[in-house]
A and B are shown apart, each in its own frame.
Chain A
């Protein structure tokens, strides 16, 4: 096969990391540097202490060479994350709003720019871990609601979604098969006043 099989229906964690590193982040350059034209992005001429937005992967390279410090996103600090954690507890039915790649971005920044973060790394790591776990429990509970046609997963990040994917798809596909067989049988037996389609009956009662 042209593509290894495990690449065919799911993303690898390393790919999600790659995608997350394309996001823009603010840096505070230490020195001046000429502008760079990349494919797609343009890195403007950098001047010391003038904030610019660049892709995370560029920021990480510049940071590694001591050319800049990274301005952490507004959500990556203890106060904000603890707030979110409280919110997760307060609202058991919904996921608190976190950035699309919060896990990946915090991982990169903790690894490559810990000294630029406003709080100690170990404390950040621990609250991030708490958040991750409480959301994992929630999403697993939510899986009980799976049906054959659709579900909504607002608030989950790409990495969290990717972890659910294999299970959700397998179950939904099975339910779909079951549903398809019952509906075709239901159609045949409909004339005989069967009690196959509960939902329809409830609808009738409502009317």
Chain B
């Protein structure tokens, strides 16, 4: 039935909307829908010709014949529009997800980075990014989509350049704790920060910028108090 293929595309879109990545572009489905639209368009042309003929042959045409023809024409038009809407909805969703990813300022996954990026990317742990597109594999995009991705990145760069002091891609979770008290757990060397340097001497305590010491906490040199 007309519209069945488009429906498949919409189901794919629905599934995609909850993913943190963008699945493979459904080029076959899109091609099939375009084919269907073109068939429908041929029907429209045929039906319009018929209508013309019926009108010219006014005397021998029953009202019923005209109505049937009009009805067919109407449904064909609707089916074409329906298909177009589905294509747009599908593509808009993918574009939205490309936009989302672009805002994160992360590198997309290419063939060469496929393995490493899966482990490196821990941004999705952040609760705020559930359902957010945090991964993008260039191979899954169609050519026009790849081009769009590049264009949108350029556009963002340009927009952001107007706000040099604002980190527009920064965390959307409010900054609550920027500085923390830490205690040194094991001896180490000197640590340099913008706020001066301090020595890792066991049991000493410091008030430091959280982002400056996150690594040291992970490595077990410091603990947050």
Contacts and interface: CB of A to CB of B under 8 A. Distances in A.
B100 A1 contact: yes
B172 A2 contact: no
A64 B174 CA distance: 20
Interface string B206-223: 010000000000000000
Given A15-B174, A18-B176, A65-B207, A5 B131 contact: yes
29 contacts: A1-B96, A1-B99, A1-B100, A2-B99, A2-B100, A2-B103, A3-B172, A4-B100, A4-B128, A4-B129, A4-B131, A4-B132, A4-B172, A5-B131, A6-B130, A6-B131, A7-B128, A7-B172, A12-B173, A14-B173, A14-B176, A15-B174, A17-B176, A18-B174, A18-B176, A21-B176, A61-B179, A64-B181, A64-B207
Interface residues of A, number: 16
A6 B173 CA distance: 12
A113 to B, nearest CB: 15
B37 to A, nearest CB: 28
Interface in A1-35: 1-7, 12, 14-15, 17-18, 21
Interface string B94-136: 0010011001000000000000000000000000111110000
Give the bracket for the number of chain B residues in contact with chain A. Answer: 10 to 19
A28 to B, nearest CB: 21
A65 B172 CA distance: 28
Contacts of A5: 131
Contacts of B130: 6
B93 to A, nearest CB: 10
A7 B103 CA distance: 15
Interface-central residue, A3, A4, A6, A21, by most chain B CB under 10 Å: A4
A29 to B, nearest CB: 17
Interface string B133-151: 0000000000000000000
B100 A17 contact: no
Interface string B163-200: 00000000011101001010000000000000000000
Contacts of A3: 172
A14 B181 contact: no
A126 B31 CA distance: 64
A3 B99 CA distance: 10
A21 B132 CA distance: 28
List the 7 closest pairs (A to B, CB-CB), nearest first: A18-B174, A1-B96, A4-B132, A14-B174, A1-B100, A15-B174, A14-B173
Interface in B51-107: 96, 99-100, 103
Contacts of B174: 14-15, 17-18
